[in-house]
């Protein structure tokens, strides 16, 4: 009887251990953990609306078409404006006064309209308006200005940018001479 109990116990042990040997000696394969999903940053959007004012430093070149004279030099200026933020598009107006380190050119004053696109922290824009220039010989005349610019919203209250302008004065001060100019300025502004 003792043999029967041992044989029965051995048989039960073998049956109980069978599932452990079912896979043989193959290594256990662990499934890889799912890869982490990278968070996609939300698009940055700046509020381009409201008042702003600032200063500029740049370079300008004036050409008297009749005389063929070119004069150039540094420029410096102040500007202030207001933008309306319509979501993707920005419309605004700006007043600007600029002085020139050029013997023949004293200053310019412009009123410009601006139309821009909200590209997050960047705003490319076009601008156009009227401008009055004063030459060193105390003559002045009104012409027009068109240009392109790019502003960068550095913080909630500070913007940096650059602006290219093309200036045109037809028949300057009734002299029969057309004066053209190109200017490029780096700009910094505070928003209110």
- Structural domain boundaries enclosing 79: 50-96+117-139+151-191
Residue 69 has pLDDT above 60, yes or no: yes
Structure confidence at residue 134 (pLDDT) = 94
Residue 7 lies in a domain: no
Residue 60 has pLDDT above 60, yes or no: yes
Residue 1 lies in a domain: no
CB 56 within 8 A of CB 185: yes
Percent of the chain scoring above 70 in pLDDT = 79
Rounded distance between C-alpha atoms, residue 54 and residue 102, angstroms: 22
Residue 131 lies in a domain: yes
Q: What is the mean pLDDT of the chain?
A: 86
Rounded distance between C-alpha atoms, residue 89 and residue 126, angstroms: 12
Residue 107 lies in a domain: no
pLDDT tens digit sequence for 134-148:
998 899 999 999 999
Structure confidence at residue 19 (pLDDT) = 54
Average pLDDT of the residues in 90-117: 97
Highest mean pLDDT among 30-34, 105-109, 171-175: 105-109
Residue 18 lies in a domain: no
Average pLDDT of the residues in 24-51: 69
Residue 35 lies in a domain: no
pTM above 0.85, yes or no: no
Q: Largest Cα–Cα distance of the chain, in whole Å?
A: 136
Name the band, by pLDDT with cuts 50, 70 and 90, for residue 13: low
Residue 3 lies in a domain: no
Q: Which residue has the higher pLDDT, 15 or 94?
A: 94
Structure confidence at residue 59 (pLDDT) = 98
CB 119 within 8 A of CB 96: no
Residue 30 has pLDDT above 70, yes or no: no
Residue 78 has pLDDT above 80, yes or no: yes
Helix (H) / strand (E) containing 189: strand 179-191
Name the band, by pLDDT with cuts 50, 70 and 90, for residue 31: confident
Residue 7 has pLDDT above 50, yes or no: no
Residue 37 lies in a domain: no
Rounded distance between C-alpha atoms, residue 190 and residue 47, angstroms: 13
Q: What is the CA radius of gyration of the chain?
A: 37
CB 90 within 8 A of CB 120: no
Average pLDDT of the residues in 82-107: 96
Question: What residue has token string 């002299």?
Answer: 175
Per the structure, the count of domains in the chain is 1
Among 22, 79, 31, CA closest to 55: 79
pLDDT tens digit sequence for 179-191:
999 999 999 999 9
């Amino acid at each position: 009887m003792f043999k029967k109990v041992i044989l029965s116990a051995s048989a039960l042990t073998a049956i109980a251990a069978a599932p452990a040997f079912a896979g043989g000696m193959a290594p256990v394969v662990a499934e890889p953990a799912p890869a982490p999903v990278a968070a996609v940053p939300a698009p940055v959007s700046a509020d381009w609306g409201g008042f702003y004012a600032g200063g500029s430093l740049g370079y300008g070149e004036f050409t008297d078409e009749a005389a063929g004279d070119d004069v150039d030099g540094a420029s410096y200026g102040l500007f202030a404006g207001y933008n309306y933020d319509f979501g993707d598009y920005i419309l605004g107006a700006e007043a600007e006064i600029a002085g020139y380190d050029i013997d023949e050119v004293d200053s310019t004053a412009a009123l410009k309209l601006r139309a821009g696109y909200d590209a997050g922290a960047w705003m490319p824009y076009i601008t156009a308006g009227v401008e009055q220039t004063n030459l060193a010989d105390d003559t002045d005349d009104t012409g027009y200005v068109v240009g392109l610019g790019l502003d960068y919203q550095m913080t909630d209250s500070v913007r940096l940018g650059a602006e290219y302008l093309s200036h045109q004065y037809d028949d300057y001060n009734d002299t029969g001479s057309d004066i053209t100019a190109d200017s490029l300025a780096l700009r910094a502004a505070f928003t209110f």
